Amino acid sequence: MRCFSCLNTSTNDMRVNIHALPYLTDLHSSVDTRSNSTGTGIGTGSKSGILVNGKVNSPKPGGGARSFTFKELAAATKNFRDGNMIGKGGFGSVYKGRLYSGQVVAIKQLNPDGHQGNQEFIVEVLMLSVFHHPNLVNLIGYCTSGAQRLLVYEYMPMGSLEDHLFDLEPDQSPLNWNTRMKIAVGAARGIEYLHCKISPSVIYRDLKPANILLDRDFHPKLSDFGLAKVGPIGNRTHVSTRVMGTYGYCAPEYAMSGKLTIKSDIYSFGVVLLELITGRKAIDLSKPNGEQYLVAWARPYIKDPKKFGLLADPLLGGKFSKRCLSYAIAIIEMCLNEEANRRPKIGDVVVAFEYLAAQSKVREAKKAARKSTDSGKSKKERKQSY
């Protein structure tokens, strides 16, 4: 019996049908395991599909994510040379490569025994073939030759947010406040697209710094959609599912009951925002007892405005508006509310952080103007002294 409706198990090779839009609603839940008469492995389910901005979205012009041969990707990465490796995890390895066209890409080679299986692989290909937004990473293609499962993404030269928040190299500059606010806004817009512009909404389910990629200008894009899940439909309040994601980011009600809603993503986003502000990891067992779990450690400070300054990352050097810090912490507190229905909607979070980012830019501009004025006065005084 087939374990996934888009997979034909009669051969080792697999072709992902990116036109299987109506079946996205079945992913991770009521996957249709029946094969149809054509042998394509796609059932004859509902044709309701998923709407993007009120319309059934189609893959990108030209076919969207393209299918690569393993030979093409081996050539692009110089046979997956260690020198081309730019990341490694339980899912497999990521390599920087150059396609025959000259385009530089990131190629994720999944470990057959890793955390990401066929189902998550297909979900990611389908999701990123259909959903397009400036704050979602662009999937260029995939490879399913034999047992190989590879994903080809646009190359993000600054790596992940994780690379710029934790365990910095001695010569690495920490993110300044304005850049952190810019990243918060972009990540929130990506989540807003999934929650509000798609019907039924899509729950990302794996929001963490490692999955927020950055381009040269630190413009953020969400990546790794293998765990994404279509949200509740009709009068349902939640989706019941096996608990998946990364420990330390899962909302408490989801971790305890498996009941998933879009508010689960809001909690995860609150954790990421707290990491952005503090420069601390969600879980860091190298810290002393009482400081290993970020949310638990931060709650007493979050509840006392007099202690807000103690939450700020020391690497910021105090170069931020205390007023903006207070607003940011207030938003984080709402996102981390243990009662899911009391957490804010992502649209409200976007508006709030857009305001904070704008205020930070204004403050920086005023500071630069004062510096320029002071410099001009100093030059004038030196001339007069002669």
Catalytic residue selected from 206, 224, 265, 313: 206
Name which of 41, 40, 47 is nearest 21 in CA terms. Answer: 47
Q: Which amino acid is it at 362?
A: V
What distance in Å separates the CA atoms of residue 192 and residue 198, rounded to the nearest whole number? Answer: 9
Residue 52 contacts residue 24 (beta carbons within 8 Å): no
Whole-angstrom Cα distance, residue 152 to residue 86? 14
206 belongs to the catalytic site: yes
| Residue 96, annotated as binding a ligand | no
Residue 279 half-sphere exposure toward CB, CA atoms < 13 A: 16
Q: Please say whether the beta carbons of 332 and 270 come within 8 A.
A: yes
Q: Which residues contact 77 (CB under 8 A, 6 or more apart)?
A: 84, 95, 96, 97, 107
Burial of 153 (0-12, 13-18, 19+ CB in 10 A): buried
Binding-site sequence positions:
108
The residues that are catalytic are 206
Binding-site sequence positions for ATP:
108
